[in-house]
Structure 1
Amino acid sequence: MASSSYCTRRAIPSDAQWILETTARVQAALIASGSLQELAKPSLDEVHTSIVNEDVFIFQDVMNNTSLGAVTASLFCPEAGHGSLDWGVGSSEKTWYLHSMMLEPAYQGQGMGVLFLKEALSLLRAKEGAGMVVLDCWAGNGKLKSFYERVGFVLHGEFPEEGYRIAVFVLKLDSETGHNG
């Protein structure tokens, strides 16, 4: 896979419907695999608001002009449903909550997700500077947990949720070197 064939960019309003359709496809694939992982089910208006706020990144096949993935990085704000105070993160520095990460099912398992997430984090760091990125996933999804560790996230802890446990990961962004600390 040549990385020059793919790029990560900020979402634009015309991406909103594709994001909703892809959310449904990826969620169906997760359910079919037996995963308890749940993607947020935003409304079209919520997706548009996130796009206008420049919170959404799109992973694109440049040669075919095809969108392959999306991820949202919102300010960590438990009151708005972006994270939880129970996790004990996000109080001392600028913190973003990474959520709704998805890649078209046909493109999963080929290393594209790692490339996409690293590029999205680089764009976030370039615009926002240093800080911390927090995400969560179903604790029973070993494959996804390993994926986040390959990108550079560190397991912060596991926390009870309604009938299952979630794993919370953190990554520090360094504005000068571009690396996690």
Structure 2
Amino acid sequence: MASSSYCTRRAIPSDAQWILETTARVQAALTASGSLQELAKPSLDEVHTSILNEDVFIFQDVMNNTSLGAVTASLFCPEAGHGSLDWGVGSSEKTWYLHSMMLEPAYQGQGMGVLFLKEALSLLRAKEGAGMVVLDCWAGNGKLKSFYERVGFVLHGEFPEEDYWIAVFVLKLDSETGHNG
């Protein structure tokens, strides 16, 4: 896979409908595979707001001008549903909560997700500087946990939810390299 064939960019308003449709496709694939992972189901207005806040990144096949994935990096703000104080991670203006990561099902398992997420984190670091990125996933999803570790995230801990556990990962962005600090 030549990375020059793919790029990661900030989302624009015309991406909003595609994001909603892709959320439904990815959720259907997760459910069909037996996964208990559930994607958030944002409204069109919520997606537009995230795009206008420059929180959403799109992974694109440059040759075919086709969007393949999306991810949102919002300021870590438990009051707004972006993270939890129970996790024991900072909630300064330099801490982001990574969520709603998705890649078209046909493109999963080919290394594109790692490329996409690394590029999105690089764009985030370029705009915002050094900081910490926090994300969570269902603790029972070993494949997803391994994926986040390949990107460079470190397991911070596992925490109980209503009737399941979540794994929380952190990544420190270095202002110079974009890697763990």
| Shared fold (TM-score, shorter chain, > 0.5) | yes
Which region of structure 1 is more displaced relative to structure 2, 82-91 or 53-62? Answer: 82-91
Contact 2:76 2:91 in 1 (8 A): no
Alpha-carbon distance between aligned partners in 2 of 1:69 and 1:153, rounded to the nearest angstrom? 19
Structure 1: runs of 5+ lacking an equivalent: none
Q: Percent identity?
A: 98
Q: Which runs of 4+ in 1 moved over 2 A?
A: none
Alpha-carbon distance between aligned partners in 2 of 1:19 and 1:68, rounded to the nearest angstrom? 10
Q: Report the alpha carbon displacement of residue 84 of structure 1 after superposing the two structures with TM.
A: 0.3
Structure 2: runs of 5+ lacking an equivalent: none
1:140-179 Cα distance to aligned partner (Å, 9 max, x none): 0000000000000000000011211000000000112222
1:52-109 Cα distance to aligned partner (Å, 9 max, x none): 0000000000000000000000000000000000000024671000000000000000
Alpha-carbon distance between aligned partners in 2 of 1:69 and 1:155, rounded to the nearest angstrom? 24
3-state secondary structure, aligned to 1:24: helix
Change (3 A) 1:42 1:149: same
* Number of residues of Structure 1 aligned to a counterpart in Structure 2: 181
Q: Report the alpha carbon displacement of residue 50 of structure 1 after superposing the two structures with TM.
A: 0.1
Cα root mean square deviation, aligned: 0.9
3-state secondary structure, aligned to 2:144: helix
Alpha-carbon distance between aligned partners in 1 of 2:16 and 2:82, rounded to the nearest angstrom? 20
Alpha-carbon distance between aligned partners in 1 of 2:93 and 2:14, rounded to the nearest angstrom? 33
Contact 1:93 1:132 in 2 (8 A): no
3-state secondary structure, aligned to 2:127: helix
1:4-52 Cα distance to aligned partner (Å, 9 max, x none): 0000000000000000000000011111111111111000000000000
TM-score normalised according to structure 1 size: 0.98
3-state secondary structure, aligned to 1:150: helix
